[in-house]
Amino acid sequence: MAKKSISRRDFLKGAAASTLGLAAVGMLGGCSSEETPKSSASSINWTKETDVLIVGAGGTGVCAAAAAAEAGAKVLVLEKAGIAGGTTNLSGGVMQAAGTPYQKQFTQYQDDTPEKHFECWMAEGEGQLDEALVKDLALGAPEDIEWLASTCGLKWTSVYGHCHVPYLKDEVLADRIHVYEGGGASGSGGIYVQAVLKVAEGLGAVVEYETEVTRLITENGKVIGAEATQNGQTITIKANRGVILAAASVDQNADMAKELNPQQYWDDTTQICLCVATDTGDGIRMGMELGAAYVSGGTIDFCGKTGAATDNRKPLFPSFIVNQAGRRFVCEDATYAYHYRAIYQQEMQLQGPTYMIFGSSSLDAPTSPWTAETAAKDVEDGVLIMAETLEDLAGKLGIDAAGLVRTMRDWNEDVAAGTDPFGRKDGLEPLSGPFYAYKNTSYNLGALGGLKITTDCEVVDVNGKVIEGLYAAGLNAGGWVGPYYPGSGTAVIGTCHFGRKAGAAAAKRSA
């Protein structure tokens, strides 16, 4: 299906441009739900009818479907693409949780708790998170892990940890990233999706593909259904108990990203966005058209070439990152999205690329992503830049030579003294030439901002009022992940936890 975007003018019109000043406090919304034109249920010739309508069949959508069906509701899922899974399929399917039997079985962390996990996530949120949502996720994640094993048949086979952040206390860090059989590698998230989908369909949930939900239908301020395009025809679906938005964030919609998530806009327009083409912010747009509040967030960015700081079992090799001034600016072995946020900021502030710098001495490190042979091949292909001296390297890169020379001197002096001003822990070894540079390139797995929700996943408008009959979960919702992605396994456990919460909450709502 062709990728669909909306123009900046249409987005601003749909989201009521008069309220966009709320962006300054991290919330964007449209007109209030009271101001939305009303529809009369009696005047609509409904094409379909269900208890719970779910928009999107990614990780969030299938978990919502399973939970709603478990609660006895009639469930219909409408998926824009031709298959289930969305961007969750492209992930490794790993999930964070603390205090599980599997963590105790596979790691040294015998006394870890969900409360420590909550504290860790809150610290990484840097004051921008909804405490109630984060606590709900941290405390509920162990049960989600068990449900996936006992009900969905996933077999947990290992647990590892995410890399540090300089300001995090050691006592809140632990190995919490759960890996199921066949999971862990990019593209294995589909195992999780299919396992849950099998449960949902076994309980009677129906999934219809290549169906794009385009508009929510309201009556007296309550969401009562939705309009969609299916087989070239417009259809209307009556949802007696609620509509759940599970359509991801603004990942592949540069127009919306420019307004709502500048780092995602950078990813969409200058970097490599890996998200599926159907992730165009539809759920966020439809919610904002009804006055839903928007909670800002960062992105899931990492180095696809090196995998730097994606796994605490793989220490970063001797290298550092510099900006246009030839200077370091971040702890390079801090978890990947933390240091990629800094890369984005430096490239915007100094209007030029940043580079990973290393020496021929680095190629002998056990965790080096290059060997002498692969480095030579990447130099030939233009992926790496090599020079005998730092001055020559800086000239080829177009960065400040004196700054780069000073940075290398500082690096070698600091590592000799066993210190690092940025709090780095790994790869602290002297560098010697010839020297190499790799232009940093972000590989993006999505945006983090979304609609404001309660712990029951009810969507909240710009006035703090619940929009009755409307739910959002996963990365269609915001407030539970902050200004940078806090480590692998956060998003996928969020799809499971909040998807299940939304499905259960909608199913029990009175028709």
Q: Check whether residue 67 and residue 207 sit in a common domain.
A: yes
What are the residues facing 218 on neighbouring strands?
223
State whether 292 and 309 are in the same domain: no
Computed over every residue of the chain, the mean pLDDT equals 93
Q: Are residues 180 and 256 in the same domain?
A: yes
Per-residue pLDDT of 495-507, as tens digits, reads: 999 999 999 999 9
Give the contacts of 42 (CB within 8 A, at least 6 positions apart): none
187 plus 327 within the same structural domain: no
Q: What is the rounded CA–CA span in Å between residue 152 and residue 344?
A: 39
8 Å CB contact between 340 and 301: yes
Q: Is 100 found in the same domain as 162?
A: yes
Sequence-distant (≥ 6) Cβ neighbours of residue 375 within 8 angstroms:
363, 384, 386, 436
For residue 2, being part of any structural domain is answered with no
Residue 13 has pLDDT above 90, yes or no: no
Looking at the domain assignment, is residue 451 inside a domain? Answer: no
Residues 309 and 288 in one domain: no
221 and 182 together in one domain: yes
Asked whether residue 89 carries a pLDDT value surpassing 50, the answer given is: yes
Beta carbons of 476 and 248 less than 8 angstroms apart: yes
Q: Check residue 5 and give its pLDDT.
A: 39
In a domain, residue 425? The reply is yes
Q: Decide if 454 is inside a domain.
A: no
* Span 467-483, pLDDT tens digits: 999 999 999 999 999 99
Residue 511's pLDDT is 75
> What are the pLDDT digits (tens) for 232-259?
999 999 999 999 999 999 999 999 999 9
Q: 449 in a domain, yes or no?
A: no
CATH code where residue 21 lies: 3.50.50.60
Within a domain: 446? no
Whether residues 291 and 314 fall in one domain:
no
74: confidence class by pLDDT, cuts 50, 70, 90: very high
Q: Clarify whether residues 150 and 74 are in a common domain.
A: yes
Q: 256 and 150 in one domain?
A: yes
Q: Say if residue 390 is in the same domain as residue 432.
A: yes
Burial 279-311 (b: 16+ CB within 10 A, else e): bbbbbbbbbbbbbbbbbbbbbbbbbbbbbbbbb
Supply the angle between the helices 189-202 and 131-150 in degrees, to the nearest 10: 80
**What one-character DSSP code corresponds to residue 24?**
G
Distance set, CA 423 to CA 52, 168, 323, 351, 359 (Å): 49, 11, 18, 26, 21
Residues with Cβ within 8 Å of residue 303, at least 6 apart in sequence: 336, 340, 356, 440, 441, 442, 443
User: What is the extent of the structural domain holding 367?
Assistant: 305-440
The average pLDDT across 71-98 equals: 98
Element containing residue 260 per DSSP (H, E): helix 254-260
Q: Give yes or no: residues 118 and 258 share one domain.
A: yes
CA 77, CA 99: separation in Å to the nearest integer? 33
Confidence of residue 40 (pLDDT cuts 50, 70, 90): low
Output the pTM of the full model: 0.92
Query: Per the structure, how many domains does the chain have?
Result: 2
Bigger pLDDT: 325 vs 31: 325
CATH code for the domain in which residue 383 is found: 3.90.700.10
Q: What is the DSSP string of 353-393?
A: --EEEEEGGGGGSTT-S--HHHHHHHHHHTSEEEESSHHHH
